[in-house]
Amino acid sequence: MSLNKSNNWSIALVMLLSIALCIGIGLSVGSSGLESLQNAWHDEVAWQIIWDIRLPRTLGALAAGALLGLAGALAQGLFRNPLADPYLLGSASGATLGVALALAFFGGNQLATEVLVRVGLTGAAFVGALLAVVLTLVLAKGVQHTMRLLLAGVIVGVVMGAMASLISLMRPDILQNMQGFLLGSTAFIGWSACIVMACFLIPCLCFAWFFGFAMDALSLGESTAVSLGVPLRAMRMVIVLLVALATGTAVAQTGLIAFVGLAAPHLVRSIASVKSGSLALLSALMGGLLLLLADILARSLIAPQELPVGVLTAVLGGGYLLWLMYRNQNQGALG
């Protein structure tokens, strides 16, 4: 209704303003501090710091967070489980395995250009994430049984994670890269990564918006959705693809960033009653905002050194999840 719509626009506007503010802060945080931003117009080095390092990193954090927030909203809608996020469904571990395999095959190849490696990593992460989600669905025999689904996701995650670790052990030359990948970081995001993420984010957002009506129908149960004429099989396939694509793209560029995909949709739901299409878009904004904030904290908490942003989101997100479980237990409605 109109009241809800205007409320959603207000929330989106507040988040956009917060994102703009965080981008401004992100440009001014770093080892050389605010000085680089102030001198950017007349100092070439300062300009390079802003243009080549801080701006792509900040925008990259925004895009990666948005991808994870979007993937989280889609996963929770598809599986009709508020505790579902790309990680719990095994897609991130699948992406990790894909990246480990790609690094093992391409990492030592001198002929591979940076672009080729990037495309290769993104592709490997995407394929790994997709296969992991499909495997989870197969093991869980569909999405109807929540506990079986989560168990299958955990099993797939553990097994694929173990396989990635095994590959890292067998190829010590990729160990450092894998460690950086597992900790998650926005420090090395360049313009090419930003462009890659934007190229995946925009169509994913459009598809999520277009399929919002079907996700709404699915929220009433599979039989009801089918009875309303929703092409459930096709829709499920598209959503699975989107979750795998969004997760795989983000994870390939930033490594494992924990809990953003879980927390962003929950935060949106806590402030607004929204339909699935709006939830996906607002969760993307919220995910972007969360990772921007985490990135700023990672850069400034122990400056001039930095924390891996994945460690920070894991600690903060883990606390949020515990609070969520505590609250739901008190309400007697966990899961």
Q: Which residues bind other proteins (CB under 8 A)?
A: 1, 3-4, 77, 80, 146, 210, 213, 216-217, 219-224, 226-231, 269, 273-275, 279
H helix runs in 1-113, sequence order: 2-28, 34-38, 44-48, 55-79, 91-106
Q: Whole-angstrom Cα distance, residue 283 to residue 181?
A: 24
**CB 274 → other proteins: shortest distance, Å?**
7
Residue with smaller CB distance to other proteins, 3 or 111: 3
In angstroms, the CA 44 to CA 50 distance is: 10
Residue type at 156 in one-letter notation: V
Q: How many CB atoms lie within 10 A of CB 33?
A: 13
Query: In 3-state terms, what secondary structure has residue 114?
Result: helix
Q: How far is the CB of 225 from other proteins (least distance, A)?
A: 9
User: Which CB sits closer to other proteins, 63 or 279?
Assistant: 279
The CA distance from 181 to 55, in Å, is 21
Residue 309 tokens read as: 């942003």
Q: 148 or 269, CB closer to other proteins?
A: 269
**Residue 186's closest CA among 303, 296, 98?**
296
Q: 169: how many CB neighbours lie within 10 A of its CB?
A: 10
Measured from the CB atom, is 257 or 268 closer to other proteins?
Answer: 268
Closest distance to other proteins from the beta carbon of 13 (Å): 21
Q: How far is the CB of 151 from other proteins (least distance, A)?
A: 17
Closer residue to other proteins in complex, CB, 255/277: 277
Which residues 6+ apart lie within 8 Å of 281 measured at CB?
12, 205, 208, 209
Minimum distance from residue 36 beta carbon to other proteins (Å): 43
Q: Which is nearer to other proteins, 38 or 219 (CB)?
A: 219
Q: Minimal distance in Å, beta carbon 3 to other proteins?
A: 7
Which tokens in the block code for residue 96?
């990790």
Cβ proximity to other proteins: between 217 and 250 the closer is 217
Whether omega for the bond prior to residue 203 falls within 30 degrees of 0, making it cis, is no
Calpha distance 228→154 (Å, rounded): 33
Type of residue at 209? W
Q: Which is nearer to other proteins, 125 or 215 (CB)?
A: 215
Q: Which is nearer to other proteins, 4 or 10 (CB)?
A: 4
Task: Centre a 10 Å sphere on the Cβ of residue 253 and count the other Cβ atoms it contains.
Answer: 27
Collapsing DSSP to helix, strand or coil, 82 comes out as coil
* SS3 category, 334: coil
